[in-house]
Structure 1
C-alpha cells in the first residue's frame, strides 16, 4: 500500500479526532521480514513480546536516564490492560507505546524544514533539532501520537533507538539492555540471521495501525495468555 502525504493526513485525522482504538492486524511471520523492502546496509527494528513483558517499567527508566529525557515527557510508555480473568487467576497485558520507525513515515512527509527525516543507512526516524521550528506538523501527522516537544530545547523529540547514546557506543538500546525478562529484541531486519528475524519467524506478531500503510518497524508478539490474542 503506498502512502502519499494526502493519504496520511486523511488517515491520521481519524486517529487524532476519535477515541476508538484503531484495529490492528495479527499476522503469523513465517518468512524473513527482510524481503519486504529493497535491501539496505542496515534496517533496524524492534520486537516487544507481550507475553514476556511484566510491566516493570525498567525500560522507561533506562530510556530516561540514558537519553536525559526530562520529567513530564517520555520517549517510551508501557500500558497495562484491564484485568483479564477472575481472581485469583488474573493476567494483565502490557503494550509498548513509542516511535514505530515507519518505512513510510508521515512525520517526515509533512515536515516543512526537513527536521524530521529517515536515516537511509539505518532506517531510523530522527530529528535534526537545529532545523525544527516547532510548527507541530509532525506531532499532528503521527498516527501513533508518540512525538512531543522537548521542554528544554523546544524541538520535536521521540525515541530514536538510542542512536546518539547506546547505539553510537556499539550497545543495544537502553530499553533492551535493561529488560529483565528479555521481552525486547532489537536488530537488523535486513539480516536473515539476526535475533529479531529469528524471533519474527516463530512468533505470532502484529504491527499497530498497519492498515495505514506506514509499515512500522516496531513489531509486537501478540499476547495470548488467558485466551486473549
Structure 2
C-alpha cells in the first residue's frame, strides 16, 4: 500500500501563488473556486497578504500553502452518509465522488481545516468557453462539494500533482510517506516540521518544514 503525501518547505515558499494557478488550470476549476490557496503568516494571524511586526526593522511575513490535508484519519469520511467522501485504499488520497454526493456538506462541517472545500451552489461557470487542463479531470457539477484531489488523474498514471511542476522556489516535495527511502520521508526525518491542527487526531499527509 502507498500513502502519498506532500512536504512543503516554508523557508523556500515565496508566496507567488503559481501553484494555486497551476492547480486551477489543470483541474479546470470553475470561476471563484480555488483548491489551493497561499496564506500569509505574520506572526500574529493568518490571512491574505498580511504583513506583521513593525516597520521598517521588524517586519514578519511567512507563507502557508493551504489545501486538503488528505488526512490518514479523515474526519470528513466518517460523517459522509453516502460514501461520496472516501479514502482511496491504494494511495491514501481522500477523494470525492461527485455522482454520489448529495450536497449535505457534512464533510465541510467536519473538516477542521477551514476553507479547503467548496460547494457548487449553481451550475459551474467559466471565464472561457472551453475546458482547460487534464483530459481526465472529472466534470464539475452543481450541488456537490469539491476539494484538492492531489491531482488523482495524474498520480494514477505515475505523474506528480500539477502544483509540483511550476513551484518557483522548489518548495514542494511529493512521494510515498510509507516508503522510508522516499524524499518526503527523508525530509520529515531530517528536518523540523509541523502538521496543521495535530490535536484533532486527523494525521494530515501534508507536512510543513519550518
Report the TM-score when normalising by structure 1. Answer: 0.75
| 1:77 corresponding residue in structure 2 | 37
| 1:128 corresponding residue in structure 2 | 97
**Runs of 4+ displaced beyond 2 Å:** 81-91
| 2:3 corresponding residue in structure 1 | 43
CA distance in 1, matches of 2:166, 2:99: 30
| 2:181 corresponding residue in structure 1 | 193
Equivalent residue in structure 2 for 1:158, among 138, 144, 147: 147
| 2:26 corresponding residue in structure 1 | 66
The CA deviation string for residues 168-199 of structure 1, in whole angstroms up to 9 with x for no partner, is 34221111111011101110011111111111
CA distance in 1, matches of 2:157, 2:78: 30
Equivalent residue in structure 2 for 1:112, among 81, 96, 119: 81
CA distance in 1, matches of 2:58, 2:118: 38
Asked if 1:148 corresponds to 2:118, the answer is yes
CA distance in 1, matches of 2:186, 2:54: 31
| 1:217 corresponding residue in structure 2 | 205
Query: Alignment RMSD, CA only?
Result: 1.5
Deviation at 1:86, TM superposition (A): 4.2
Asked if 1:178 corresponds to 2:166, the answer is yes
Deviation at 1:89, TM superposition (A): 6.6
| 3-state SS of paired residue (1:61) | helix
Q: Give the count of matched residue pairs.
A: 181
Asked if 1:208 corresponds to 2:196, the answer is yes
Deviation at 1:83, TM superposition (A): 3.4
Deviation at 1:206, TM superposition (A): 0.6
| 3-state SS of paired residue (1:64) | helix
| 3-state SS of paired residue (1:135) | coil
Asked if 1:54 corresponds to 2:43, the answer is no
Report the TM-score when normalising by structure 2. Answer: 0.82
Gaps of 5+ in 1: 1-40, 223-229
Deviation at 1:98, TM superposition (A): 0.7
Gaps of 5+ in 2: 42-50, 125-140
CA distance in 2, matches of 1:220, 1:108: 23
The CA deviation string for residues 15-40 of structure 1, in whole angstroms up to 9 with x for no partner, is xxxxxxxxxxxxxxxxxxxxxxxxxx
- Structure 2 CA distance for partners of 1:195 and 1:84, relative to 1, 3 Å: farther
Deviation at 1:45, TM superposition (A): 0.6
